[in-house]
Amino acid sequence: MRTALAALLALGLVAPWPARAADPIVCPEGTRPGVTEKAAEGTLRWCERPGPGGSIRHGPMLGSYPSGRRRFEVYFVDGTPRGPIRAWYDNGQASAIGETRPDNGTLTLRDEAGRRRAQIDVRARQVVTQAWDADGREEKYEEAKLAKALAANRDLSFIMNLFAVGIGIQ
Protein backbone atom coordinates (compact mmCIF):
# COMPACT_ATOMS: atom_id res chain seq x y z
CA MET A 1 0.00 0.00 0.00
CA ARG A 2 2.79 2.43 0.91
CA THR A 3 4.58 1.66 -2.35
CA ALA A 4 1.42 2.34 -4.39
CA LEU A 5 0.81 5.66 -2.61
CA ALA A 6 4.44 6.67 -3.09
CA ALA A 7 4.14 5.89 -6.81
CA LEU A 8 0.96 7.97 -7.12
CA LEU A 9 2.57 10.87 -5.24
CA ALA A 10 5.60 10.69 -7.54
CA LEU A 11 3.37 10.80 -10.60
CA GLY A 12 1.48 13.77 -9.18
CA LEU A 13 -1.84 11.92 -9.36
CA VAL A 14 -2.48 12.31 -5.64
CA ALA A 15 -1.27 15.23 -3.57
CA PRO A 16 -1.05 15.00 0.21
CA TRP A 17 -1.99 18.69 0.36
CA PRO A 18 -2.47 21.44 -2.19
CA ALA A 19 0.43 23.69 -3.05
CA ARG A 20 0.35 27.28 -1.83
CA ALA A 21 -0.66 30.04 -4.23
CA ALA A 22 2.72 31.70 -3.66
CA ASP A 23 4.44 28.76 -5.35
CA PRO A 24 5.81 30.03 -8.67
CA ILE A 25 4.15 29.03 -11.90
CA VAL A 26 6.58 27.19 -14.17
CA CYS A 27 5.76 27.69 -17.84
CA PRO A 28 6.90 25.33 -20.62
CA GLU A 29 9.49 26.48 -23.13
CA GLY A 30 8.03 28.86 -25.70
CA THR A 31 5.35 30.17 -23.33
CA ARG A 32 5.11 33.00 -20.83
CA PRO A 33 3.01 33.65 -17.73
CA GLY A 34 -0.36 35.14 -18.61
CA VAL A 35 -1.72 38.20 -16.88
CA THR A 36 -2.60 37.27 -13.31
CA GLU A 37 -6.26 37.87 -12.56
CA LYS A 38 -7.10 38.77 -8.97
CA ALA A 39 -10.63 38.88 -7.65
CA ALA A 40 -12.46 38.58 -4.35
CA GLU A 41 -12.58 34.80 -5.02
CA GLY A 42 -8.78 34.53 -5.30
CA THR A 43 -6.10 34.56 -7.98
CA LEU A 44 -5.87 32.90 -11.40
CA ARG A 45 -2.49 32.35 -13.13
CA TRP A 46 -1.68 30.53 -16.36
CA CYS A 47 0.87 30.10 -19.14
CA GLU A 48 0.23 31.12 -22.73
CA ARG A 49 1.88 31.28 -26.10
CA PRO A 50 1.21 33.51 -29.08
CA GLY A 51 -1.33 32.21 -31.57
CA PRO A 52 -2.79 33.45 -34.85
CA GLY A 53 -5.88 34.92 -33.16
CA GLY A 54 -4.23 35.98 -29.89
CA SER A 55 -2.83 34.19 -26.87
CA ILE A 56 -3.41 30.44 -26.46
CA ARG A 57 -3.28 28.79 -23.05
CA HIS A 58 -0.51 26.22 -22.98
CA GLY A 59 0.89 24.80 -19.75
CA PRO A 60 -0.44 25.01 -16.21
CA MET A 61 -3.39 27.08 -15.03
CA LEU A 62 -3.45 27.61 -11.28
CA GLY A 63 -6.27 29.04 -9.18
CA SER A 64 -5.98 29.96 -5.52
CA TYR A 65 -8.27 31.07 -2.71
CA PRO A 66 -7.82 34.45 -0.96
CA SER A 67 -6.38 32.39 1.95
CA GLY A 68 -3.45 31.43 -0.29
CA ARG A 69 -4.43 27.77 -0.57
CA ARG A 70 -4.45 26.25 -4.04
CA ARG A 71 -7.97 26.07 -5.50
CA PHE A 72 -7.30 24.10 -8.69
CA GLU A 73 -4.61 22.99 -11.14
CA VAL A 74 -5.28 22.23 -14.79
CA TYR A 75 -2.81 21.69 -17.63
CA PHE A 76 -3.50 23.00 -21.15
CA VAL A 77 -2.05 21.80 -24.45
CA ASP A 78 -2.68 24.16 -27.36
CA GLY A 79 -5.71 25.72 -25.65
CA THR A 80 -7.35 22.45 -24.54
CA PRO A 81 -7.28 20.98 -21.02
CA ARG A 82 -5.11 17.83 -21.16
CA GLY A 83 -3.69 15.70 -18.39
CA PRO A 84 -4.32 16.10 -14.66
CA ILE A 85 -7.17 18.15 -13.21
CA ARG A 86 -7.02 18.70 -9.47
CA ALA A 87 -9.13 20.92 -7.23
CA TRP A 88 -9.42 21.54 -3.50
CA TYR A 89 -11.80 23.06 -1.02
CA ASP A 90 -10.45 25.98 1.01
CA ASN A 91 -10.09 23.58 3.97
CA GLY A 92 -7.42 21.67 2.00
CA GLN A 93 -9.54 18.60 1.17
CA ALA A 94 -9.47 17.44 -2.45
CA SER A 95 -12.72 18.29 -4.27
CA ALA A 96 -11.89 16.84 -7.71
CA ILE A 97 -9.13 14.59 -9.01
CA GLY A 98 -9.02 13.54 -12.63
CA GLU A 99 -7.30 13.38 -15.95
CA THR A 100 -8.28 14.16 -19.53
CA ARG A 101 -7.06 12.76 -22.83
CA PRO A 102 -8.76 12.86 -26.24
CA ASP A 103 -12.03 10.88 -25.95
CA ASN A 104 -11.02 9.49 -22.52
CA GLY A 105 -10.83 10.63 -18.93
CA THR A 106 -11.75 10.07 -15.32
CA LEU A 107 -12.98 12.59 -12.76
CA THR A 108 -13.60 11.75 -9.11
CA LEU A 109 -15.57 14.25 -7.03
CA ARG A 110 -15.29 14.45 -3.24
CA ASP A 111 -17.22 16.30 -0.55
CA GLU A 112 -15.70 18.73 1.97
CA ALA A 113 -15.02 15.87 4.39
CA GLY A 114 -12.92 14.11 1.72
CA ARG A 115 -15.45 11.35 0.99
CA ARG A 116 -15.72 10.11 -2.59
CA ARG A 117 -19.18 11.06 -3.87
CA ALA A 118 -19.04 10.51 -7.64
CA GLN A 119 -16.85 9.26 -10.44
CA ILE A 120 -17.21 9.89 -14.15
CA ASP A 121 -15.29 7.61 -16.51
CA VAL A 122 -15.15 8.23 -20.24
CA ARG A 123 -13.63 5.62 -22.54
CA ALA A 124 -13.89 6.03 -26.31
CA ARG A 125 -16.50 8.76 -25.67
CA GLN A 126 -18.72 6.36 -23.67
CA VAL A 127 -19.67 7.80 -20.26
CA VAL A 128 -20.03 5.64 -17.15
CA THR A 129 -21.01 7.27 -13.86
CA GLN A 130 -21.00 6.07 -10.28
CA ALA A 131 -22.12 7.79 -7.07
CA TRP A 132 -21.84 7.16 -3.34
CA ASP A 133 -23.74 8.56 -0.39
CA ALA A 134 -22.07 10.19 2.63
CA ASP A 135 -21.67 6.74 4.23
CA GLY A 136 -19.87 5.31 1.19
CA ARG A 137 -22.77 3.21 -0.11
CA GLU A 138 -23.22 3.14 -3.87
CA GLU A 139 -26.29 5.01 -5.08
CA LYS A 140 -27.82 6.16 -8.36
CA TYR A 141 -25.91 8.98 -10.05
CA GLU A 142 -28.19 12.03 -10.13
CA GLU A 143 -26.70 15.39 -11.07
CA ALA A 144 -29.16 17.46 -9.02
CA LYS A 145 -28.57 15.36 -5.90
CA LEU A 146 -24.82 15.47 -6.46
CA ALA A 147 -24.84 19.25 -6.89
CA LYS A 148 -26.62 19.57 -3.55
CA ALA A 149 -24.14 17.23 -1.81
CA LEU A 150 -21.23 19.19 -3.29
CA ALA A 151 -22.73 22.68 -2.81
CA ALA A 152 -19.57 23.89 -1.04
CA ASN A 153 -17.60 23.27 -4.25
CA ARG A 154 -17.98 26.64 -5.95
CA ASP A 155 -15.79 25.45 -8.84
CA LEU A 156 -17.81 22.32 -9.66
CA SER A 157 -19.37 23.59 -12.90
CA PHE A 158 -16.03 25.09 -14.02
CA ILE A 159 -14.16 21.81 -13.35
CA MET A 160 -16.89 19.73 -15.04
CA ASN A 161 -16.74 22.01 -18.10
CA LEU A 162 -12.92 21.76 -18.31
CA PHE A 163 -13.23 17.97 -18.02
CA ALA A 164 -15.81 17.81 -20.84
CA VAL A 165 -13.74 20.07 -23.11
CA GLY A 166 -10.56 18.14 -22.28
CA ILE A 167 -11.99 14.82 -23.44
CA GLY A 168 -13.80 16.37 -26.38
CA ILE A 169 -17.43 15.80 -25.42
CA GLN A 170 -18.30 19.49 -25.29
pLDDT digits (tens, 9 = 90+) for 26-76: 999 999 998 787 877 889 999 999 999 999 999 999 999 998 899 999 999
In a domain, 10, yes or no: no
In a domain, 8, yes or no: no
> What pLDDT score does 1 carry?
37
Q: In which domain, by residue range, is 47 found?
A: 18-167
In a domain, 13, yes or no: no
Contacts of 159 (CB under 8 A, 6+ apart): 72, 85, 87, 95, 96, 107, 153
In a domain, 43, yes or no: yes
**pTM beyond 0.85:** no
Amino acid 114 reads G
In a domain, 4, yes or no: no
Give the closest residue to 96 by CA, choosing from 86, 104, 105, 106.
Answer: 86
In a domain, 2, yes or no: no
CATH number of the domain residue 107 falls in: 3.90.930
How many domains does the chain divide into? 1
**Rounded Cα distance, 24 and 62, in Å:** 10
Can you list the residues of the chain whose pLDDT is less than 50?
1-17
**Rounded Cα distance, 14 and 10, in Å:** 8
**Rounded Cα distance, 14 and 86, in Å:** 9
In a domain, 12, yes or no: no
In a domain, 84, yes or no: yes
